[in-house]
Structure 1
Amino acid sequence: MTDIGRDDPAGAAAEFLAEGGVFVPQFVLRTYRALGLSDEEFVLLLQIAGFRLAEGNPFPTPDEIGTRMGIGPDRVAGLIGDLIRRGFLAIDERIDPETGVRSEAYRWTGWYEQAAAHAAAHEPSGGAAARPSSPERREPPRGAAVPAEDGRAAELFAVFEREFGRPLSPMELETISAWLDQDRYPEELIRFALKEAVFAGKLSFRYIDRILLEWSRNRITSEEEARLRARQFRGRA
């Protein structure tokens, strides 16, 4: 009997199928365009799911994703940042209780939640194809962050990238989005916190976050108030 291997198309297919894959519910396939996702964004989300589910890599780099998609890492980082802002993608941070090692993982449940909500609202019962309708963005679930205006966030991303002298990581993009959407820090306050970090020679997101948290505890809500607080602090130093 002849061995069936990769030289045989059927054998090769069976071998590759054994690697596993990604299950995509039909309602996700039906609704992604109605949710405003481009084909490129859709494929990127599938690639992220594939890395995690089939290859055990929960946090692929922009380089790894870009190689699969034939696009540059900067483009990948930009797409990921936009998907995070719109609630389709999130980054979970985990700490191993035994080793204390910190790690990150992508989570795309927000995408499935938006797809399910759209299908429930716009499709007949029984899972039939959606009725033609103009694309619209649904209201986020109760308790979810309200996405910042894309232009406002994009400007902040650009400012931070200029100061850091490099493209921001997906985790850093999500941090800025969280400052705007969840913590509700005014944009001018975030910009001034960045300036303070540069002035102090401590240019890191953790340091900037501490500055913003300290201002929040002292009910500082404007750049003018923050500037006065900084002068008082330096006067005591």
Structure 2
Amino acid sequence: MKNNLYAWFKEGSMTIPSFLFTHYKKIGLNEQEVMLLLQLQHFIETGNDFPAPSQLAERMTLQETECLFLIQRLIQRGYIKLEEDKGQAIGDERYSLDPLYERLIDCFLQSQKQEKAEQALNEGESLYTVFEQEFGRPLSPYECETLALWMDDDHSPSIIKAALREAVISGKLNFRYVDRILFEWKKNGIKTIDQAKNRGQQFRMHQKQEKKQATQTPIKDVPFYNWLEQ
């Protein structure tokens, strides 16, 4: 039994990107083509980079002619590349699956880009809703344009919401005040929610200190600290 398990372990394993299983249809492959490509990969990894159609047919439920047809079609469609094996005799060739993985990478990057775009769209829609809820009314076209400009200016929706919260706490619920907060945060390199919270706490502590000083020395005119007056 142990010898059998050892022989099984010696067979090794093969690394296959899970993205291939979940997106092979998206890059234009069917099940037969994927299995043939995986068989090719296994042959290449075990030292045979130019298996004959008959060798592929031995492992698959396809005939030799069908394997040959699939290989030719995959080459024509740009999933397999034939390369000259420079390490061997002149005229020897080898299969390369680089085109397949290049397509997979392109598809993966495109999927990531699309997900980010959809996320940004959803966050943008949520952002408009949050502002309308705080203002208690629909936003004007000018205010909608201002929100879009803030996002175009690399302000994340979470940072814009944090600036709105600061405006609410300060009792200055208007777009000009929020804009000033965002300007001040960007100038000071504030990009995360934690940084924004710390900055807001510092701002309110400064307000309390100024109020306390104004109470203790009423004769001296101490201006009220305001985001708009920085």
TM-score normalised by structure 2 residue count: 0.46
* Structure number with higher helix proportion: 2
Structure number, greater radius of gyration: 2
Greater RCO, CA 8 A, separation 6+: 1
